[in-house]
Amino acid sequence: MRWIAAVLFLVATLPSCAINPGKSPDSPLDTTIAAVRANGPQYDGKYVRVRGLLNQCIGFSCVLHPVAKNGTPDWKAPEFRIAFSRDAPNLMLPEDFEARSFLGYLYRFSEITVVGQYDYTCDSANDPHPVGPGGLQDVVICTDAATNFADVRVVAVHKRWPSTAFSIWPGKKLSPLPPPLAETIIAAFKENRSANLSETNQYQALNNPEDATSAYLCVCLENSCAGKWPTQAPQVLGNPANPYVCAYASLDHGTWHFAPQDF
């Protein structure tokens, strides 16, 4: 009977995550976004490992879409609105660096596998669920950017796309500025950023025709960006797969200024 006691002792001393999958990021449940969204209460509070395409990143959250069989995002399927973990595992970042913003830039428009903790709270507002105690229906109010997938860690990157690849939420259209105005904006940019760029870089100054006081200046990172420049405002957002980087410029008392956090 001693060996039985030894086995029972070993089981009792094992970490709880080893015998309770989903309790920690080290022992997530392997599943899909569709399965979690279809069975929310079953996965509530549990860590899961899923695969999807990271699309829009706005503020503190990004949208992780399921990927269809043909390899493109399934826009009609329920998605995760995720919040990256502040601790940003394996990334050496300054203490005051906003890790979530950086991770949103790093993985936007990528098909990735992530581990995170699912929260059913906001999804419950759209799912059939029982009436609460006393016959009262639960009322759930969440902001449009509220997340349902937190403490997210990226464990694999499978494929990347440039920002121009998807336009499910088209923003304001951007058009090239007339050459004289474009040259003025480029000159203002070079005056402040000349140390970071080469004279051989291609530039494209863009704006929405309805707004004469703001513009985007995009710089090509390749030999040529012909046919690759952004045509909509969301496409200027950072993404390592883009062949360009863009800076926002605003007109103030006849002078163009660039935000200091731009490249």
Same-domain check for residues 69 and 110: yes
Q: Is 104:171 a contact under the CB 8 Å cutoff? A: no
Domain match, 151 and 232 both: no
Does 33 have pLDDT greater than 80?
yes
Please choose, from the candidates 147, 120, 117, 149, the residue with its C-alpha nearest in 3D space to the C-alpha of residue 47. 117
Is 235 a residue whose pLDDT tops 90?
A: no
Instruction: Provide the percentage of residues in the chain whose pLDDT is more than 90.
Output: 34
179 and 155 share one domain: no
Q: Print burial letters for 57-71: b (CB count within 10 Å at least 16), e (below 16).
A: beeebbbbbbbeeee
The Cα 69–Cα 78 span in angstroms is: 16
Q: Is the pLDDT of residue 54 over 60?
A: yes
Give me the pLDDT at residue 177, please: 94
Mean pLDDT of all residues belonging to the chain: 80
Q: What is the mean pLDDT of residues 214-226?
A: 92
Q: Are residues 49 and 138 in the same domain?
A: yes
Domain assignment present for 166: no
Q: What is the mean pLDDT of residues 212-232?
A: 91
Output the pTM of the full model: 0.75
- Whether residue 216 contacts residue 242, with contact meaning beta carbons closer than 8 Å, is answered with no
How far apart (Å, rounded) are the C-alpha atoms in residues 17 and 25? Answer: 9
Domain total for the chain? Answer: 2
Angle at 170 between CA 169 and CA 174, to 5 degrees: 155
Q: Is the pLDDT of residue 141 over 80?
A: no
- Percent helix, percent strand, percent coil in the chain, to nearest 5: 25, 30, 45
Strands 149-160 and 80-84, by their bridges, are parallel
Same domain for 233 and 122, yes or no, is no
48, 135 Cβ separation under 8 angstroms: no
One domain for residues 214 and 148 = no
Give residue 253's domain range.
175-258
Residues 88, 140, single domain; the answer is: yes
User: What's the rounded mean pLDDT across residues 170-189?
Assistant: 88
Q: CA-to-CA distance for 226 and 234, rounded, in angstroms? A: 19
* CA dihedral sign, ordered 168, 172, 174, 175: positive
Report pLDDT digits (tens) over 90-119.
Answer: 555 555 666 667 777 888 889 999 999 999
Among 137, 161, 185, the domain-final residue is 161
What single-letter amino acid sits at 71? G
Please check whether residues 79 and 208 belong to one and the same domain: no
At residue 249, the 3 state secondary structure works out as: strand
| Cα(10)–Cα(69) distance, integer angstroms | 44
Per-residue pLDDT, 46: 96
